[in-house]
Structure 1
């Protein structure tokens, strides 16, 4: 079991790795970044299991973290190209502008985002499964209605008003709400609001589509009195990823990428699926969720120190932020560190966070290949830690081969613009590498 009290040095590093390359949560959207030239180079041969994140140094001048975008083609030349677009969840805003252009050039984008329970829509192969998934999507919609009421002091007049509200806050939320408009039998879920916007009722008529009934035929209702998961109601929760980005003068991915695109499709687990998968592996998501979200005591402490760092760094001409960037560049470009990081949370952590979530993407891609024959290109937009395994699945299961690659700068430390000296930079890098060697023994 994961226990916040026994997080050792490697587990602290593992937490940092998860912040940088793990699942991303909700965040209000800002304007997408402008596009400007960044590192981009094709290669003649691409190894499907090669790294998707690396450090690049111009000795005495710059050290940078880069992420890769690799294009795969079907071995039999029949089918769409697939582009694995890796991303760092915090980076220079220019990176997100460049990646936005790559994504927008594809017919479909399958993106990473662990969704609230019910956000994948209702369905199932039996009436019992359809009833259960219907209740989940209705609770998901209720969570959005609670957020609306927190802002507007009333519930939405109809679900269209709710969708408009959601789209302004986070385009992904609007997409998920659209999937939650029908029940497990494909029928529209009814929404009624009363008492001047103070109460609401969501209703599905069950398997028989008739009022009343019992068992799977019974009406399913969620009201303004129904409790939903706290994950959806906590609208102003601090997020360590976003706070780390601010402390380093960088942008958070959800502030830099515009998800409001008709070709963008979420391809990931829902939170309840993730929790069940973790439980099956004997893992507890609670401490990690609270820390990353900033709601637990360790999370609140981390947020406090990140904010304090921003204030103190002002008096040191940014050298603290630059030093932290160097630390991250060294950590995230070290394959052994990334592998060891996942193991610190338990043997099953990587199987769930990487393997099982990646398989969902490959399964969604398989459906596209089978049913949407006119699609000529698909981008898979995930954290860099996912991509080596994703590439292997794409090659082994679907018969694709690598064809080309590009590298993009996520962020860098430029000594011409930094208070850090070349000697300090090299000393810090040597210290980090020495610590990494000691930890890997």
Structure 2
């Protein structure tokens, strides 16, 4: 038998009776944990399913007998049950009333009152059909209908004869057919909304199951397996029989009030729904195959004997349903029993309760706790019996069937352990008004995912088949968090079980998988420098293959569809961000800065003049003068140093030229500025000033390496160019930069900028006007291309040869392409530019500009550039530099960083 067949049979077994635990073969021991259902095989190979009964006593009270039942069984079982019940004074019995048979309900919404009344109209129509089937004619009145039915059914007519608003429901025959009418909330004909009439003739016709033309699922089960249906065998008629149960209306209300949904149960009882259709198909197949029915009966018996394992595990999403089906119905029985015991009657022959065996465990506890009853006697009645030898079922076949059942139960237990999901229903108002909307929340357990990173830059992922998409999926290892389990412990456990590796786990993120309808969370962990400790420890239901993925490929795989699960793509971004924040990334950044600082320290020593002091210390720089009295040295940091001959041990020059003596140097530096110019010299100077050519362009090319942190994680080559022409009246600056970069290891040319700035200086004034334009390209930003153009006014706070400080204010227009914002927007501009010639070899530049967005209040950009340059005097025009560029955006797309930081360092050439 296939596992699907077994699951269908298990479901039908649970539909037939909600049962209690099994008893080992031949065990008869008295036990507080009384086995209400047991399955056993005799020495002559007779397989029996026994259902228990138990007698209880208490001081000063009547004897009480609990009799367990199953709803399909051999006919003689029900004879035995009736014999056991017959002597009692009162018998409380199980019997869920059909829809519409319950007592008047309170606190219903207008919509619920309409539904309630419609069910009562249909119930009266069903009972009218039942009378016609028995007598050949429809009853003419409700009174005639009651007299033609049993006492229990007559009580249903009594309850259903009024609608939800307390008005009488009218019954009549129209052209020989029943017409049943409720006049709605106003009790008058016509009307709108809940005041409109509810008529049988306006409803869909009764289904075959409602007309009694098709057997219910339990009766169908009985027919297939050669059994009988309880309601066909036990009439429950007579004064001593008291129906002690809820109606389906009450069950439905209680289930919905608890946020559950009993649709499947009600469809099954009514012979409708997908479950009933599938079960009916399975039963048709069983009936058509010789020898299968009796084996199905054997499987049914074995499963009934093992079913408590399922209920102990719990049924996901059905906790509220099972609470109503068991506990709330048992409460009704206990309330009815309390009324009997409080009535003062002796009940010398005792009180009996006959109910499904699955109710007995809870009912027994209530008898002890509420009424003080204790067990005094017990026994079992045989509900089903199969002669295995006569039916040709060998011991080998029985062993195989039992093994199959145990395998299915094991798989079910595992599935239930892994899927503790529950659907909760709630009614909420969106606007605080009276209109309520229905919402459903799936209460699901938290789960974890872990990204294991190896020392060689790979992450371990798993490929496994996913039934929802019916294909393999590439995912990070992970699983459900067990009740009470620490999330980090769960992550380490899943890492070990699914990959065979271990490592310290670190929480890197927390996600909501589906906040629209689920309340659980995904805890994302990462582990670096993992180590293999053994083979994966997979469960029998898992088919997992390990896949080593280079870290540099994660981003690409999330974009090209190699990784498609929404949660998995989100984890990819968390992992990339985690790697960016990792100590290794910071180590690389600080290492670059340290290396550039070391280069700055070493540069003056390369091909520099050296003055060795008597102490052994060495001073590096340019020797500008040397004679018998001492040495004059231009030091790159300390400036001009005059060293007497007594402290100098040796002077090492980088070339053969001998520095001039102090007197010669003074003569070379002397100028005729002290002399008064002659008239002829003044004329020549004026003509020269007029004919002086325009200032030349001063250009610079920088080549170096960059590291960026933020929306891209880059580590690659940088090339930039800048040229400036500066005069007394205006200054023009053109700059461009191109960055060869990597996005987490994936090679890409990702950034380029071109800028043009022009200043118009006002004569004899610190004020100036400026215009600027800029083009930016960034492959990894929310936009690909951006053009900025504008202008404004500036003020030179300081304008010295070695220090300048200029403030700027203005407006710019911004146009982004390949972006969600494709319109031209206006931004303000507030900025400051600073240049500082620290000494002859060192210079520092700083530019910081604030761009407030005029279209979106509160949004802004902040762009800051800083650069330190150290000239190499030994190489004309050569220098080393370290630069930092920081861009902050107040609002970014989801998953992006607000800050982009770029650190650049390398070699520059002036020309």
**Pairing of 1:336-347 with structure 2 (within 5 A):** 336-340=308-312, 342-347=314-319
Q: Is 1:356 paired with 2:328?
A: yes
CA–CA separation in structure 1 for the residues paired with 2:166 and 2:271 = 38
Choose which of 403, 407, 422 in structure 1 pairs with 2:376.
Answer: 403
Is the partner of 1:84 in helix, strand or coil?
Answer: strand
Q: Check whether the contact 1:10–1:344 (CA below 8 A) recurs between aligned residues.
A: no
CA–CA separation in structure 2 for the residues paired with 1:284 and 1:11 = 21
Q: 1:385-441: per-residue Cα shift (whole Å, max 9, x none)? A: 111111001111111111111201111221232121233223322332343244334
Report the structure number with the largest CA radius of gyration: 2
CA–CA separation in structure 2 for the residues paired with 1:203 and 1:221 = 6
CA–CA separation in structure 2 for the residues paired with 1:123 and 1:369 = 27
Give me the TM-score of the superposition, normalised by structure 1: 0.74
Aligned CA RMSD, in angstroms, stands at 4.2
Of 12-21 and 259-268, more deviation after overlay is shown by 12-21
- CA separation of 1:437/1:228 partners in 2, compared to 1, >3 Å: closer, same or farther? same
Q: Is 1:177 paired with 2:160?
A: no
Q: Is 1:312 paired with 2:292?
A: no
CA–CA separation in structure 2 for the residues paired with 1:323 and 1:380 = 32
Residue 86 of structure 1: how far off its partner (Å)? 0.5
Q: Check whether the contact 1:247–1:306 (CA below 8 A) recurs between aligned residues.
A: yes
Structure-2 residue corresponding to 1:91: 73
- CA separation of 1:427/1:149 partners in 2, compared to 1, >3 Å: closer, same or farther? closer
Q: 1:53-94: per-residue Cα shift (whole Å, max 9, x none)? A: 0112214612211000111112xx222222111111111111
Q: Is 1:68 paired with 2:52?
A: yes
Structure-2 residue corresponding to 1:246: 223
CA–CA separation in structure 2 for the residues paired with 1:112 and 1:19 = 15
Residue 110 of structure 1: how far off its partner (Å)? 1.4
Residue 155 of structure 1: how far off its partner (Å)? 4.0
Structure-2 residue corresponding to 1:235: 212
Structure-2 residue corresponding to 1:38: none
Q: 1:160-189: per-residue Cα shift (whole Å, max 9, x none)? A: 43134433xxx64234335657899999x6
- CA separation of 1:45/1:428 partners in 2, compared to 1, >3 Å: closer, same or farther? closer
Q: 1:122-153: per-residue Cα shift (whole Å, max 9, x none)? A: 4879xx9xx99996896476334542587478
Structure-2 residue corresponding to 1:4: none
Q: Is 1:371 paired with 2:351?
A: no
Structure-2 residue corresponding to 1:21: 17
Q: Check whether the contact 1:202–1:221 (CA below 8 A) recurs between aligned residues.
A: yes
Q: Is 1:56 paired with 2:56?
A: no
Bigger fraction of residues in strand: 2
| Pairs aligned (count) | 395
CA–CA separation in structure 1 for the residues paired with 2:366 and 2:205 = 33
Structure-2 residue corresponding to 1:28: none
Structure-1 residue corresponding to 2:650: none
Residue 113 of structure 1: how far off its partner (Å)? 1.8
Residue 17 of structure 1: how far off its partner (Å)? 4.0
Structure-2 residue corresponding to 1:30: none
Structure-1 residue corresponding to 2:279: 302
Q: Is 1:166 paired with 2:162?
A: no
Is the partner of 1:343 in helix, strand or coil?
Answer: coil
Q: Check whether the contact 1:10–1:439 (CA below 8 A) recurs between aligned residues.
A: no
Choose which of 112, 117, 121 in structure 1 pairs with 2:94.
Answer: 112
- CA separation of 1:101/1:137 partners in 2, compared to 1, >3 Å: closer, same or farther? farther
**Pairing of 1:124-203 with structure 2 (within 5 A):** 139=121, 142-148=124-130, 151=133, 155-167=138-150, 172-177=152-157, 193=172, 197-198=176-177
Q: Check whether the contact 1:294–1:302 (CA below 8 A) recurs between aligned residues.
A: no
Structure-1 residue corresponding to 2:678: none
Q: Check whether the contact 1:109–1:264 (CA below 8 A) recurs between aligned residues.
A: yes
Give me the TM-score of the superposition, normalised by structure 2: 0.38
Q: Is 1:80 paired with 2:62?
A: yes
CA–CA separation in structure 1 for the residues paired with 2:341 and 2:161 = 26
Structure-1 residue corresponding to 2:82: 100
Structure 2: stretches of 5+ with no match in the other structure: 20-25, 189-194, 415-911
Residue 250 of structure 1: how far off its partner (Å)? 1.0
- CA separation of 1:95/1:197 partners in 2, compared to 1, >3 Å: closer, same or farther? same
CA–CA separation in structure 2 for the residues paired with 1:156 and 1:395 = 47
Structure-2 residue corresponding to 1:27: none
Of 385-394 and 294-303, more deviation after overlay is shown by 294-303
Looking at both structures, which has the greater relative contact order when contacts are Cα pairs under 8 Å and sequence separation is at least 6? 1
CA–CA separation in structure 1 for the residues paired with 2:98 and 2:390 = 42
Is the partner of 1:143 in helix, strand or coil?
Answer: helix
CA–CA separation in structure 2 for the residues paired with 1:243 and 1:68 = 25
Structure-2 residue corresponding to 1:272: 249
CA–CA separation in structure 2 for the residues paired with 1:53 and 1:321 = 22
Is the partner of 2:35 in helix, strand or coil?
Answer: coil
Structure 1: stretches of 5+ with no match in the other structure: 1-7, 24-40, 213-218
Q: Check whether the contact 2:121–2:160 (CA below 8 A) recurs between aligned residues.
A: no
- CA separation of 1:138/1:60 partners in 2, compared to 1, >3 Å: closer, same or farther? closer
Residue 295 of structure 1: how far off its partner (Å)? 1.9
CA–CA separation in structure 2 for the residues paired with 1:107 and 1:186 = 35
Of 357-366 and 329-338, more deviation after overlay is shown by 329-338
